[in-house]
Amino acid sequence: MAETTHTEISPDTTLEGEVTAIGDLDGKARIGAPSGTGERPAAIDGFTEEGESLPGGDDGTGQLGFKKHSHGNAPVVPEASRGERRRSFDLADFPTLTGLEEDWRFTPLKRLRGLHTDALSGTAPGIEVGGAGNVTVETVGRGDARLGSAATPEDRVSAAAWNAFTEATVITIPKETVADGEVMVKVTGSTSEAAAQHILIHAEAFSKAVVVLDHSGSVTLAQNVEIIVGDGAQLTVVSVQEWDDDAVHVSSQQAKVGRDARYKHVVVSLGGDLVRLTPSSIFTATGAEVEMYGLYFADAGQHLEQRLLVDHAVPNCKSRVTYKGALQGVDAHTVWVGDVLIRKAAEGTDTYETNRNLILTDGARSDSVPNLEIETGLIEGAGHASATGRFDDEHLFYLMARGIPEKAARRLVVRGFLTEVIQQIKVPALEERLSESVERELAAGNL
């Protein structure tokens, strides 16, 4: 895996590899220096400037640096490839979480409020689906054969949710149908008991629709959203998290993308105490294109995490990932991990993923980890970029020295930064609402 071999903390610099940027905690102004002055790369345990330092005594038969795989009490063994990550409907296949697991290492488990340990027996948040008359909406029992056809849990919370839900919502856009409006799925929570929810969205062949999952209220929710994008279908799924301040939401949103299909997935995470989304796009046939966008705005104390997977398993597909985040306030924490896997068979793949973060105040932390794994050289293109910049006194001075008042200057920067993602939604009423939400976030931070 093209996992990182070194880290730099350097504002305004485009980096490849893992980036952690932390706003100055000591409050020292960085004034007078031109931006982009590189600080010394921070050390990572086990890594030197030459790369990973390998433990001695390797007998050459195992994978470099890793202990041999064994069951039982073995230390955590990272998967050799993202494609090998365990997938199972059986909760027992996922060991109890310790927080040291690669895919949980940034998540504060204590704040999951039992989603990873408890029976998810609480009342699931209410679901109301409206907006398009020619789309089928069903509530089905867990025995329905369609459930689980598009997605298999990839982590413990997702598996727990699979095992706990009692009924599921199935939204079907029939074959060759263009939805006669945006499908608005209002998910409203009213209790903080740990609960599970299951949603299946099936865009049948050559259909066309926009589905908005609009999350609000108060929850402790483990959610699986499975998405099937049929051959030649065009589907946009927007997942908006405008939860109440105390909400905890862990959501797996896996899509299987058919031949020549167009799939767009947009994440907007603004509200909630802890929101952890794992959207994935798995190509199942050639000629498909996927765009995945994300916007997150973390305030003091909020943890907003997104872990993506784009699985290029078949030839001649294209993917673009663009996630942008803003952070303000002490202990605002965002995590973005973007895994792109180009399997041996996926010749002709064209992929690029980008993550940009903007740290507005001291005390916030942003982690960004783009991973690109390439098993064939016969591709069109593959790249990734990550940059984390700090909006500091020098930026403010520059804009104010051009006559722009302080508040307007800050808003100018944040609005400009986040608008790119909002514009991808293409639902004017929702775009407007989310722009206003971003304005409120800014106002709340006294910016």
Q: Which residues bind another protein (CB under 8 A)?
A: 12, 29, 31-32, 34-36, 356, 358, 389, 391, 393-395, 397-406, 408-409, 412-418
Residue 415 CB, nearest distance to another protein (Å)?
A: 8
Residue 407 CB, nearest distance to another protein (Å)?
A: 10
- 157/359 with CB nearer another protein: 359
Cα angle at 337 between 191 and 13, to 5 degrees?
A: 125
Those residues whose C-beta lies under 8 Å from the C-beta of residue 388, and which sit 6 or more positions away, are 11, 15, 19, 21, 356, 357, 358, 359, 366, 368
Q: Is 283 within 8 Å of 292 (Cβ atoms)?
A: no
- 175/415 with CB nearer another protein: 415
Residue 389 CB, nearest distance to another protein (Å)?
A: 4
The sign of the torsion formed by the CA atoms of 25, 7, 78, 383 equals positive
Residue 422 CB, nearest distance to another protein (Å)?
A: 13
Those residues whose C-beta lies under 8 Å from the C-beta of residue 413, and which sit 6 or more positions away, are 358, 391, 395, 399
- C-alpha 50, offset from chain centre: 31
- 69/407 with CB nearer another protein: 407
Cα angle at 296 between 292 and 301, to 5 degrees?
A: 145
- 12/350 with CB nearer another protein: 12
- 324/384 with CB nearer another protein: 324
Amino acid at 27: G
Residue 437 CB, nearest distance to another protein (Å)?
A: 17
Residue 268 CB, nearest distance to another protein (Å)?
A: 17
Residue 362 CB, nearest distance to another protein (Å)?
A: 16
Those residues whose C-beta lies under 8 Å from the C-beta of residue 10, and which sit 6 or more positions away, are 36, 37, 38, 39
Enter the DSSP assignment of 72: S
- 86/395 with CB nearer another protein: 395
Amino acid at 253: Q
Amino acid at 179: A
Q: How far is Cα 335 from Cα 338, in angstroms, rounded to an integer?
A: 10
- 307/390 with CB nearer another protein: 390
